[in-house]
Amino acid sequence: MEETETVERVAGVCGELVLRRRGEHHEIVANGTFLMDTRGGTSERLLVTAAADHMPAPGRIMIGGLGVGFSLAAALAHPGVSEVHVVEREPAVVRWNSGPLAPVHGDALRDPRVRVHVDDVVAWLEGAAPASLDAVCLDVDNGPDWLVTPDNARLYSDAGLAALVRVLAPGGVLAVWSAQPAPAFEACMRLHLDEVEVVEVAAGTAQPDVVLLGRRPLESVRIELRRSDPGRCLLPGW
Ligand SMILES: C[S@@+](CC[C@H](N)C(=O)[O-])C[C@H]1O[C@@H](n2cnc3c(N)ncnc32)[C@H](O)[C@@H]1O
């Protein structure tokens, strides 16, 4: 049995964060709850590759939530990606990715295509220019119905989806990671996006990991038509 070693324990923006090492692997624990580790990563990579495969040129991607950098590494390996904006609210997570976690992704934060924004993704979206991204890949929670912090609920509301769609260029792709199916959020996505699709990835647990994908309509008027259809979005506003 391998021993677990605490590499660093810090007071993070949203509570205690611990980086632990067990054998060759690392794991991040937030407020005593497992957040992410360096084993696997299949669905975290798919989150980005599925979006990048379908996004328009020039391939400007935002990744919400750095974690251990699986999604970032997938973005940099994709031929269609020209720039990557990583939005991560925990400075320690960014620092660990330039230190003990750098071998996981070949020190991806040093890639000239990468810009790191130490910020809350909700606040960052408000400041981002409209239609400035070709894909937005969101993995900040265990899913729309299983939040890491209550504030993140804003992202999955009707207004949160509108904010995500606002920063996408017409035809741009939104991808959202979840550790379980999220039918209410999927229904809300259908109000804002075309070609909504759910991809399941076996995770060796009772529920598959899920990646929800959708494309920003080319004509924004269609969003208004769908939003006038009452009762279809069951999620609360901000
Ligand atoms: C599950 S991890 C992401 C895993 C990542 N996809 C990977 O490949 O390793 C979630 C990350 O999102 C960050 N996070 C959570 N809420 C956030 C928010 N509102 N804004 C920015 N980052 C957030 C956490 O600190 C954590 O680093």
| CATH assignment of the domain containing 119 | 3.40.50.150
Token pair 């054998």 in the structure block, residue: 23
Give the number of residues written for the chain.
238
Give the distance (Å) from ligand 1 centre to CA of residue 228: 33
Tens of pLDDT, residue by residue, the chain (238 residues): 678 999 999 999 999 999 999 999 999 999 988 889 999 999 999 999 999 999 999 999 999 999 999 999 999 999 999 999 999 999 999 999 999 999 999 999 999 999 999 999 999 999 999 999 999 999 999 999 989 889 999 999 999 999 999 999 999 999 999 999 999 999 999 999 999 999 999 988 888 999 999 999 987 545 554 555 544 444 443 3
Sheet hosting strand 4-12, strand order edge to edge: 4-12, 15-22, 25-30, 33-37
Has residue 97 been placed in a domain?
Answer: yes
Q: Is the CB of 152 under 6 A from ligand 1?
A: yes
Nearest CA to 52 among 43, 60, 44? 60
| Ligand 1 atom nearest to 87, measured from its CA | 21
Q: What is the pLDDT of residue 33?
A: 86
Q: What is the pLDDT of residue 237?
A: 38
Q: How many helices (DSSP H) and strands (DSSP E) are in the chain? A: 8, 11
Instruction: Return the structure tokens found at 55.
Output: 């996004």
* Res 90: pLDDT: 97
199 within a domain of the structure (yes/no): yes
Q: Ligand 1 centre and the CA of 87: distance in Å?
A: 8
Kindly report whether the peptide bond that precedes residue 56 is cis, defined as omega within 30 degrees of 0: no
Q: What's the distance, CA 194 to chain centroid?
A: 19
Cβ burial, residue 34 (10 Å; 0-12/13-18/19+): exposed
Instruction: Compute the distance from residue 66 Cα to the ligand 1 centre, in Å.
Output: 5
Distance 166 CA to ligand 1 centre (A): 21
- The verdict on the CB of residue 120 being under 6 Å from ligand 1 is yes
SS3 49: helix
21 assigned to some structural domain: no
Binding site membership of 148 for ligand 1 (Cβ less than 6 Å): yes
CA of 215 to the centre of ligand 1 (A): 22
What is the reported pLDDT for 29?
A: 94
- Of 89, 101, 120, which is best to mutate to test ligand 1, by the most ligand atoms within 8 angstroms of its C-beta? 89
Which regions of 44-149 does DSSP assign to beta strands (E)? Answer: 60-64, 83-88, 114-118, 133-138
The total number of structural domains in the chain stands at 1
Residue 232 included in any domain: no
Q: Which token pair is 211?
A: 């990646």
Would you say the CB of residue 209 lies under 6 angstroms from ligand 1? no
Question: Is the C-beta atom of 217 inside 6 A of ligand 1?
Answer: no
Please tell me whether residue 224 adopts helix, strand or coil conformation. helix
Residues 66 and 86: beta-carbon distance below 8 Å: yes
Say if 20 falls within a structural domain: no
Q: Is residue 56 included in any domain, yes or no?
A: yes
Residue 112 within a domain: yes
CA of 152, closest atom in ligand 1: 19
Q: What's the 226 CA to ligand 1 centre distance in angstroms?
A: 31
Domain membership flag for residue 35: no
**pTM (two decimals):** 0.92
Cβ of 19 closer than 6 Å to ligand 1, yes or no, is no
Cα angle at 220 between 141 and 62, to 5 degrees? 35
Q: Ligand 1 in contact with 68 (CB < 6 A)?
A: yes
Closest C-alpha among 76, 113, 109 to residue 93: 109
Task: Give the pLDDT score at 233.
Answer: 47
Which domain range does residue 64 map to? Answer: 40-227
List the residue whose alpha carbon is closest to atom 2 of ligand 1. Answer: 67
Nearest Cα residue to 162 out of 212, 107, 223, 218:
223
